[in-house]
Amino acid sequence: MSHAELTDEEYARFCGLIYQTAGIRIADNKRVMVSNRVRRRLRATGVPGFSQYLALLMSEAGREELPLFLDAITTNETYFFRDPHQYEWFSDTFLAEILHAAALHHHTRSLRIWSAACSTGEEPYSLALKIAAKESRFKHWRITILGTDLSGAVLKSAEAGVYDARSTRLVDPLALKTHFTADAASTKFTIKPEIRARVTWQQHNLLNPLPGEPFDCIFLKNVLIYFDAESKKKVVRNVIAALARGGYLVIGPTEGVHTMLGSLERVQPWLYRQTA
């Protein structure tokens, strides 16, 4: 089925809907990208055109289609141990600090970590691998690693835990052998069940608060570059509210939120701590 070109009005309406529901501001030069990705949903649903698809998304009948539309629009590209220095800090400094605090009875024998906008799961699994490397020191601990994302599709992929060689290229060869199962051609690597069991998954929109116990460490990377200032402020408020006292926030290098983190102590350009 062929479809007419996306009109200015239709493009503006799609961009408005994306911003309204996900807080993501689509640039003016992304018309071709939006058009191509919406066409996938037209083919999948059999809806004949862009305007009819917009009408579906805005209707009660389109409530189930809206998450699939957002899945198609949002870009999800990541890999294991992206920004290696942050994982070195997590393993060598943060985990050691938590263990020391617990030994002094200044911290319970529990650890809560949130990987926000985790995409296909490489980030929370990378954190799980770092903890697994210190397995003997975390016996009898209650450890929670939560991976959240707006997209239900990428969370299903994350839960399956199957990755290609490009995604796993920074995984230590011994860890790759120990914690992954390779296919016959060594082109696909599946996380073993004991590591998959360490991570729980939840669909979540960063514009909304995340209820529950606070987290000792939150990773919020490579997502806020798509948000405008007002949306960033909402996300930052929600994330800080979920951070335990003494907890750390790890951000990406281009998030553009440094001026919004005034209530946190700056440790590194990419690392902040909740001291209030």
Mean pLDDT of 31-54: 92
From 45, 73, 101, the end of a domain falls on: 73
**Burial of 76 by CB count in 10 Å (0-12 exposed, 13-18 middle, 19+ buried)?**
middle
Segment 58-69, tens digit of pLDDT:
999 888 898 889
From 22, 45, 73, the end of a domain falls on: 73
Residue 37 falls in the annotated catalytic set: yes
Q: Please tell me the distance from the alpha carbon of residue 167 to that of residue 230, in angstroms, as a whole number.
A: 33
**Assessment of whether the complete model's pTM goes beyond 0.75:** yes
Q: Are residues 56 and 109 in the same domain?
A: no
Task: Report the pLDDT value the prediction gives residue 70, as an integer from 0 to 100.
Answer: 86
The CB density around residue 51, as the number of other CB atoms within 10 Å, is 15
2 domain residue, yes or no: no
Dihedral sign, CA of 181, 184, 189, 193?
A: negative
Q: Are residues 14 and 115 in the same domain?
A: no
The CB density around residue 97, as the number of other CB atoms within 10 Å, is 14
Segment 92-107, tens digit of pLDDT:
999 999 999 999 999 9
3 domain residue, yes or no: no
From 25, 46, 73, the end of a domain falls on: 73
Closest of 10, 61, 63 to residue 39, by C-alpha: 10
- Bridge partners of 250, per DSSP, are 219, 271
265 domain residue, yes or no: yes
Task: Report the pLDDT value the prediction gives residue 67, as an integer from 0 to 100.
Answer: 84
Identify the active-site residue in 37, 40, 109, 273.
37
1 domain residue, yes or no: no
Mean pLDDT of 187-204: 96
- Bridge partners of 152, per DSSP, are none
Q: Are residues 125 and 61 in the same domain?
A: no
Q: Are residues 206 and 90 in the same domain?
A: yes
Q: Please tell me the distance from the alpha carbon of residue 229 to that of residue 73, in angstroms, as a whole number.
A: 21
Q: Are residues 109 and 181 in the same domain?
A: yes
158 domain residue, yes or no: yes
Segment 96-155, tens digit of pLDDT:
999 999 999 999 999 999 999 999 999 999 999 999 999 999 999 999 999 999 888 889
Q: Are residues 110 and 20 in the same domain?
A: no
Q: What is the DSSP string of 26-67?
A: PPGGGHHHHHHHHHHHHHHHT--SHHHHHHHHTSGGGTTHHH
250: containing domain: 84-273
Residue 82 falls in the annotated catalytic set: no
CB contact burial 12-41 (16+ within 10 A = b; e otherwise): ebbbebbbebbbbebeeeebeebbebbbeb
Task: Report the pLDDT value the prediction gives residue 72, as an integer from 0 to 100.
Answer: 85
Q: Are residues 60 and 89 in the same domain?
A: no
3-state secondary structure of 2: coil
Give the distance, in angstroms, between the CA of residue 71 and the centroid of all CA atoms in the same chain.
Answer: 13
Identify the active-site residue in 41, 149, 198, 216.
149
The residue to which tokens 């051609």 are assigned: 185
Q: What is the largest CA-CA distance in the chain?
A: 67
In the DSSP assignment, the letter for residue 6 is P
In the DSSP assignment, the letter for residue 109 is S
Give the CA angle between residues 86, 122, 101 to the nearest 5°. Answer: 45
Q: What are the residues whose beta carbons fall under 8 Å from the beta carbon of 79, sequence distance 6 or more?
A: 122, 166, 167, 168, 169, 170
Mean pLDDT of 160-174: 95
Q: Are residues 19 and 135 in the same domain?
A: no
Q: Are residues 195 and 145 in the same domain?
A: yes
